[in-house]
Amino acid sequence: MMMDFEVQPLCTESYGSRSAQHYQPLPDGSLNCVPDRPEDQAYRSLRDIFTSVFLPQGYPKSVSPDYLAYQVWDTVQAFASSITGTLATQAMLKGVGVGDETSTVTAATVTWILKDGTGMLGRILFAWSKGSKLDCDAKQWRLFADVLNDVAIFMEIVAPAFPACFTLIVCTSGFFKCIVGVAGGATRAALTMHQARRNNMADVSAKDGSQETLVNLAGLLFSLLLIPLVADNLCLTYSLYGLFTVLHLYANYRAVRAICMETLNWARLRLVLCHFLRWEKVPDPALVNPQEPLLPGFRQQLSMTLGAPLHTVASSVADFQKALEGNSTNHLIFFNRAAGTISVLLHRQAGSVDVIKACTHTLILEALLCPDVSAFLVERESLLDLQHKLHEGPCNKDWVTVSEIHRLLNRIFPKFLTGLTEAGWIIDRNLLGPEEWRLDWTVPKKKIL
Q: Mean pLDDT in runs of 10 for the chain (449 residues)?
A: 58 73 82 71 70 88 93 94 89 65 64 82 87 87 93 90 86 91 90 91 92 92 86 85 95 95 94 94 95 74 87 87 81 86 92 95 88 82 86 74 87 95 95 92 57
Name the helix (H) or strand (E) containing 333: strand 331-336
Give the CA-trace dihedral at 328, 331, 335, 341, to 10 degrees. -160
Chain centre distance of CA 48: 30
Give pLDDT, residue 39. 54
Apex CA 298: angle with CA 353 and CA 142, to 5°? 80
Please name which of 185, 177, 186, 162 lies closest in space to residue 118, comparing C-alpha atoms.
Answer: 177
Give pLDDT, residue 41. 56
Kindly give the pairing relationship between strand 21-25 and strand 341-346: unpaired
**Domain residue spans of the chain:** 11-54, 67-258, 266-423
Phi, psi (5° rounding) for residue 405? Answer: -65, -35
pTM of the model: 0.85
Alpha helices in 201-308 (DSSP H): 201-230, 234-258, 266-279, 285-288
Give pLDDT, residue 16. 67
Nearby residues of 59 by Cβ (< 8 Å), 6 or more positions away: 16, 17, 51, 67
Q: In the CATH hierarchy, which top-level class contains the domain 67-258?
A: mainly alpha
Q: Dihedral sign for Cα 306, 312, 317, 318, please.
A: negative
Which amino acid does the sequence have at 8? Q
